[in-house]
């Protein structure tokens, strides 16, 4: 009997998604004779039963295209806005899964998508996931596709900022994405020769950063590049947030937990704009003109790098193999040059952050880069 599989892409878009869809779809059809359909716009498309039949003509010519031909959204199956209300729509999704007589549902996404796929797995759907995100923070895999492309874009941006920083004798602060993991800022900072790199894993002292910049100035170096992860925070802010999170964990009842969560959300919201405040503070402490560049979603766009195309293709073909073997409830993780099926319950809730003894950190310190501590 012919197997049928569904594919959806959820969360933020990422370079390499189309490469993975192509590899999975072509391998499933041509090697295993499976039928493949795509659900549009993530989990919402699965709930609304909006589909596209993925055949050879749909999969041709998409290897080098950024974004996702299926569209995406950040909707959560168990908390989906419907008609002004937030509803659990998992049962509807299960019904649509069975209407198409699917043998498996493949979900391509980051940490949030892994959690949402796991929630559908608990409802009886045969789920298998692929790890994509420019943040490289999904647990259980060596690397996520999308990261290499974003790393190249961020590095090129730092390269370009060197010339204006040097010409105007400025401090250039560049904010790099990465959420609460420092992989992107750290990698781009090292590759781009940033003088200061600030990441979430190492809370910084702004006075230490200012001192490092002043030392460069005294040594005759009249500019500095500061690469900052969007999740980086000062020592004081890190302490405040840590206490707020502890209050959530230690809350004795629902009311206390709700109140603690509200306070935590307020503090996290206040963190938005932190890089601008850091830029202004560095100008005050050093007396040097400081400018901020926020790369934002520029890092997620454009043609995927060769490395991301290779990785996405490798994981996509491996996914088809695992489906043919009946392996479900797993994420297709990158392992060396191969792929491994990692149980989803070992992935969900595990954010992969930069270890403090990681070789990249050792290298950064070795060449004299200030990490804010």
Q: Mind telling me the catalytic residues? A: 135
Residue 326: CB atoms within 10 A of its CB come to 10
Distance CA 372, CA 234 (A): 9
Contacts of 1 (CB under 8 A, 6+ apart): none
Angle at 338 between CA 1 and CA 192, to 5 degrees: 130
- State whether the Cα torsion 232-309-330-46 is positive or negative: positive
Q: Where are the beta strands (DSSP E) in the chain?
A: 4-9, 35-39, 51-53, 80-82, 85-87, 104-109, 127-131, 171-176, 196-198, 224-229, 290-294, 330-335, 338-343
From 345, 337, 341, 311, select the one nearest 151 (Cα to Cα): 311
Pick from 156, 157, 193, 149: nearest CA to 174: 157
Could you give phi then psi for residue 312, rounded to 5 degrees? -65, -40
Decide: 205 and 175 in contact? Cβ < 8 Å.
no
Tokens standing for residue 24: 């999975």
CA dihedral 48, 144, 343, 352 (to 10 degrees): -110
Instruction: Count Cβ atoms below 10 Å from residue 46 Cβ, excluding itself.
Output: 29
Residue 287 carries which DSSP code?
A: -
């Amino acid at each position: 009997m012919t197997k049928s599989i569904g594919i959806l892409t959820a969360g933020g878009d990422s370079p390499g998604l189309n490469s993975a869809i192509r590899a999975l779809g072509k391998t499933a059809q041509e090697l295993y004779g499976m039928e493949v359909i795509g659900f549009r716009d993530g989990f919402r498309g699965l709930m609304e039963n909006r589909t596209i039949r993925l055949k050879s003509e749909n999969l041709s010519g998409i290897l080098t295209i950024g974004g996702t031909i299926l569209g995406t959204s950040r909707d959560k199956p168990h908390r989906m806005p419907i008609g002004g209300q937030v509803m659990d729509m998992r049962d509807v999704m299960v019904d649509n899964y069975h209407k198409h007589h699917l043998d498996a549902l493949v979900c391509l996404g980051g940490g949030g998508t892994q959690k949402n796929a796991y929630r559908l797995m608990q409802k009886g759907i045969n789920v298998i996931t692929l790890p994509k995100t420019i943040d490289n923070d999904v647990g259980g895999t060596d690397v996520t596709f999308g990261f290499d492309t974003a790393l190249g874009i961020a590095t090129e941006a730092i390269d370009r900022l060197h010339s204006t920083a040097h010409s105007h004798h400025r401090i250039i602060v560049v904010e790099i994405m990465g959420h609460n993991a420092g992989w992107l800022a750290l990698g781009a900072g090292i590759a781009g020769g940033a003088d200061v790199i600030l990441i979430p894993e190492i809370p910084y002292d702004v006075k230490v950063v200012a001192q490092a910049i002043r030392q460069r100035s005294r040594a005759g170096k009249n500019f500095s590049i500061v690469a900052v992860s969007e999740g980086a925070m000062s020592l004081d802010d890190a302490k405040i947030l840590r206490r707020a999170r502890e209050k959530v964990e230690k809350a004795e009842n629902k009311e206390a937990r709700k109140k603690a969560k509200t306070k935590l959300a307020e503090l996290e919201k206040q963190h938005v704009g932190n890089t601008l405040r850091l830029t202004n503070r560095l100008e005050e402490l050093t007396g040097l003109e400081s400018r901020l560049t926020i790369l934002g979603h520029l890092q997620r766009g454009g043609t995927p790098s060769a490395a991301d195309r290779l990785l996405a293709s490798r994981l996509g073909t491996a996914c088809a193999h695992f489906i043919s073997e009946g392996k479900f409830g797993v994420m297709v993780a990158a392992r060396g040059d191969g792929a491994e099926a990692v149980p989803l319950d070992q992935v969900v809730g595990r954010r992969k952050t930069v270890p403090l003894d990681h070789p990249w950190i050792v290298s950064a310190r070795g060449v004299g880069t200030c990490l804010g501590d």
